[in-house]
């Protein structure tokens, strides 16, 4: 997936209207590449926008991928959600308690950002309304059958309730450890596993309605 070119984040007027750059602007900042994630986040906590730029360089692709899996939307809307995630990370950096990785901290903010966006959206787009026509008689072509299964899977993932989709994306697609994924979503481990089980079952049944539920 091609990532939209990042834009600068502009703060609200009550924050001084500060423009927060999301790209390194000069060679002086190249040394930030050697600083740890935790140190960069700590620098963000004292208002260092250069540190935010370095953190964005490291993780904007991962955050973009996560957001695009959590919500099916236009690329510019996903880009806006990514920008919002990093701006919120800059604002709430002082809340980071080092209980997990900085990446997980960003993922938690991204998941919350998407959840609020979904709740406030007036309508959801359905990009999978048109199903492919049945193949003519005879054995179906293997590639066409696989493509149809993937399309059913994508549609089923889009149809999952947000809580189930978030659990599946974090654990099965982003491959976060269960304990860390539960922390990102601010839920108990048992709740995470229940949601993950329900999500996997729903997706399995979507791919194979006759044999998915056993």
Position 211 scores a pLDDT of 58
Half-sphere exposure of 210 (CA within 13 A, CB side): 0
Q: How far is CA 73 from the centre of its chain?
A: 12
Position 20 scores a pLDDT of 47
Helices vs strands, H then E, count in the chain: 8, 2
Domains of the chain, CATH where assigned: 1-125 (1.10.1740.10), 127-214 (1.10.10.10)
Residue 20, beta-bridge partner list = 9
Helix, strand, coil share of the chain (percent; to 5): 65, 0, 35
Here the tokens at position 173 are 């697609």
CA dihedral 62, 66, 72, 77 (to 10 degrees): -50
Phi-psi region at 186: left, alpha or beta (left = phi > 0; alpha = psi -120 to 50): left
Residue numbers of the chain with a pLDDT score lower than 70: 1-33, 120-142, 146, 209-214
Position 131 scores a pLDDT of 41
Position 126 scores a pLDDT of 41
Neighbours of 91 (CB within 10 A): 15
For the chain, what is the largest distance between any 2 Cα atoms, rounded to a whole number of angstroms? 68
Position 95 scores a pLDDT of 86
pTM over 0.75: no
Here the tokens at position 38 are 């935790």
Position 17 scores a pLDDT of 43
Summarised one tens digit per residue, pLDDT across range 152-197 is 777 888 888 888 989 998 988 888 888 888 888 888 888 888 999 8
């Amino acid at each position: 997936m091609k990532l939209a070119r990042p834009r600068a984040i502009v703060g609200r007027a009550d924050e001084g209207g500060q423009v927060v750059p999301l790209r390194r602007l000069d060679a002086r900042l190249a040394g930030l590449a050697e600083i740890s994630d935790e140190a960069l986040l700590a620098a963000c906590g004292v208002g260092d926008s250069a540190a935010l730029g370095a953190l964005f360089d490291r993780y904007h692709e991962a955050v973009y991928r996560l957001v695009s899996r959590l919500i099916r939307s236009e690329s510019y809307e996903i880009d806006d959600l990514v920008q919002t995630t990093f701006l919120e990370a800059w604002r709430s950096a002082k809340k980071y308690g080092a209980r997990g990785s900085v990446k997980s901290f960003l993922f938690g903010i991204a998941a919350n950002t998407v959840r609020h966006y979904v709740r406030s959206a007036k309508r959801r787009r359905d990009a999978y309304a048109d199903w492919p026509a049945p193949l003519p008689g005879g054995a179906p072509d293997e590639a066409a059958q696989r493509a149809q299964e993937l399309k059913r899977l994508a549609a089923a993932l889009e149809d999952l309730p947000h809580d189930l989709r978030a659990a599946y994306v974090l654990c099965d697609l982003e491959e976060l450890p269960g304990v860390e994924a539960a922390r990102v979503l601010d839920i108990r481990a048992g709740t995470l596993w229940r949601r993950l089980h329900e999500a996997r079952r729903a997706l399995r049944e979507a791919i194979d309605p006759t044999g998915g539920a056993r």
